[in-house]
Amino acid sequence: GAGVSQSPSNKVTEKGKDVELRCDPISGHTALYWYRQSLGQGLEFLIYFQGNSAPDKSGLPSDRFSAERTGGSVSTLTIQRTQQEDSAVYLCASSSSQGHNEQFFGPGTRLTVL
């Protein structure tokens, strides 16, 4: 079946502009995660959605970052007033609440802030 998809694959924006990144998880997966990965670095946890529970936003680096998950499926990560240090690959992952908790990652969105 279809895996996790993300759009756009690449996004170039100017400093100060807002951007929206989209994640389509695997159908039926209740858990959805956003991570940020700077060049050559690890997976920085941003936010975690589990079903209808309040999301765990503890990883969001500033109030310029926010995320929504509508209808328990698609999620949008929004970065307002982008800064150059926001440049990174943003990865989304989803997992099922059934069985083991393997996370399946999307291909990522490469964000470049000029």
Partner 1 sequence: GENVEQHPSTLSVQEGDSAVIKCTYSDSASNYFPWYKQELGKRPQLIIDIRSNVGEKKDQRIAVTLNKTAKHFSLHITETQPEDSAVYFCAASMNNDMRFGAGTRLTVKP
Question: Residues interacting with partner 1, by CB under 8 A?
Answer: 30-31, 33, 35, 40-43, 45, 48, 50, 56, 58, 91, 95, 97, 100-103, 105-108
- Smallest separation (angstroms) from partner 1 to the CB of 68: 19
Least distance in angstroms from the C-beta of 16 to partner 1? 29
Nearer to partner 1, 71 or 99 (CB): 99
Contact 6, 106 (CB under 8 A): yes
Give 84 or 101: the residue with its C-beta nearer to partner 1: 101
Q: How far apart are CA 44 and CA 38, in angstroms?
A: 9
Q: Cβ closer to partner 1: 15 or 50?
A: 50
**CA 58 vs CA 2, 39, 40, 45, 96: distances in Å:** 29, 22, 23, 8, 21
> How many C-beta atoms lie closer than 10 Å to residue 31's C-beta?
17
Q: Indicate the residue type of 26.
A: I
Closest distance to partner 1 from the beta carbon of 8 (Å): 16
